[in-house]
Amino acid sequence: MSGIDDAFQLYKEHIFDEKKLELLKVHNLKVTGSVPSVMWELFGAILTGRSSTGVTGADLAGWEIKSAKMGASYEYQYHLNTGAHKLDEDAQVNHLFCAYSETYTDVVVIAMQGQDLANYFDQWKLEYQQNYDTSVPSTQRRQRFRRSIPAGFVKSQGRLVMRIQNGALVERNDTVINTLNRLAS
């Protein structure tokens, strides 16, 4: 089986978990957002064949994993002590973007190289430094630095890895991940 096949299997069992989704609906609880980010990281790990390094930085060795509701932008967050390094790293690692429908029946997975997103990260560096300006008393400094990459940019500039519609795998590109894994080595 390929990474796409294995990731699709995880999707069917743990992301598009029909029993869980039905229970959420029965109890009038929100379905969107019921899949935690760590599950998307696991999905990405299976898809790319890469694991977490266990330290701060990219989610997986050579990969940053992002998920968002279809049409929403992908959020990046940078912390005071590690953000500057993370911004540099994000411009080098690959990025896997997972867009999902409200009920998780549809998922689109797109991959991009960090260098194709570097304009965002370069622009954010100055803003990051201003956000965490050490000349300002810590009580007056902002605690978070968040920025987003628009879904439209990802869709138009990225490479489709797989598309799931109505719970079925309808489109796939088995070469994208292998190509980007070689470039990230």
In CATH, what number is assigned to the domain containing residue 68?
Answer: 3.40.210.10
Say how far apart CA 18 and CA 39 lie, in whole Å. 16
Residue 175 scores a pLDDT above 90: yes
Quote the tokens at residue 135: 């000349």
Can you give the residue range of the structural domain that contains 153?
Answer: 3-184
Residue 185, pLDDT above cutoff 70 = no
The per-residue pLDDT of the chain, averaged, comes to 93
Least confident of 2-6, 115-119, 143-147, 166-170: 143-147
**pLDDT tens per residue, range 24-64:** 999 999 888 889 999 999 999 999 999 998 777 789 989 99
In the structure, what pLDDT confidence band is assigned to residue 1 with cuts at 50, 70 and 90? low
The model's confidence at residue 139, banded by pLDDT at 50, 70 and 90, is confident
Residue type, 18: E
Q: How far apart are CA 24 and CA 150, in angstroms?
A: 29
Q: What is the mean pLDDT of residues 101-113?
A: 97
pLDDT, residue 42, reads 96
> Which is nearest to 183 in space by CA: 121, 113, 116, 109?
113
Q: Look up residue 104 and give its amino acid.
A: Y
Q: How many domains does the chain have?
A: 1
Distance (Å) of CA 55 to CA 59, 82, 98: 9, 11, 22
Q: Cα–Cα distance between 67 and 4 in angstroms, integer?
A: 17
Q: What is the dihedral of CA 113, 32, 40, 71, to 10 degrees?
A: -10
Q: How are beta strands 63-69 and 94-100 bridged, if at all?
A: parallel
Dihedral, CA atoms, 27, 30, 33, 35, nearest 10 degrees? 20
